[in-house]
Chain A
């Protein structure tokens, strides 16, 4: 039989903490390309304030981490928009942000408020940007606007032309 006291404690805990931390997930599609020479793209995902009043928040950076002497960092600059907006100041490898390049297909990324790399993001109007740059290929940026923190669960999608397929951002309060 349950003690009434433990039930009360549980109720107190539930009201003291937010039910769940807000979540931001991103679904990125890397298209299969019929080209003679294919290398997996470098990719950056970041958040920037629409009013550009704060540094960007790096969410993910995929680059060639297998090269000797960290030589794969040489092409990070080819994600030109990310590089200009703060990529050049990011020390790589960066925990919870950088990882290896990925094959064509659908990839899911998930971020939680209060945890790295999303952290305690100030409330406001944002854009989530995904930039892909491929060796001997092209470069493309896809942006999805969002309001943080989310008041209700919502989805937004934008599409690339060549280097990126659909990018879907899913928010959960």
Chain B
């Protein structure tokens, strides 16, 4: 049964149609990540669900209740903001207990819940401090704590990690995943970072220009992208997408019907760099990035195509070396001229 259901959700900013009829069904306990480039509408969609923006069209159902026109305060959702948005004039304890106090929960129950959340988040010794006296990571945890003491129907996260430094971001990401596993709460998480999307999500919603491009588990999106946009958005380094005419004819001949005039998409791990002459695809090394555990080799072919190959061992190749490329066409994605997938890789 659908827990949170979006049906034909629309949002206009003046003349601009920011959200274009979004349909999405979310099950109880799911961890959903909205991901997409900036300006794709992912934050707007989250704010529409939160009730912080008015919905201009469509309906929003939560647990069998129509909340389309309900104010935020009546929706029973909790949100963690990018800027944390803690109440600066209240202590950590007051921040975390604010919602329960408004709901007129018994003082003793409040104390129990706050202490419990503080223990989970390692905040017990900071409860009497004000947000000003905390580090960025601690503030982040207070913001999360403020959300979890309420046990809301749905947690909303709006790019919660983007203000943290890289090390702390990775650590907090793991904590959020653990928290979700322990609490089992329905969660919607907005990010532009596809690593966060891949590691946290049960299902990822890829958005572009106010439209859902694809919904699926992280590996579904990686292995069977619905179109060229998703294919290139998910995965680092990006999938190689090369127009068919730039490919040597032996590879071109493997293209399925419908891909004429389109392109081929190859993950970097499906291209192997061999000695020159070993395959019918000649090329020249432009750049080698040795990252330790893996090596990225950038190669361009005489036809003008550019490829990135990823290999797990190190290489003696240098920029300018002549090589040939071994293309694993069985893992190729074929796109028609409009960018839609013609035949996906057999994953």
Q: Do A and B come from one complex?
A: no
Residues of A participating in the B interface, judged by any CB pair closer than 8 Å: none
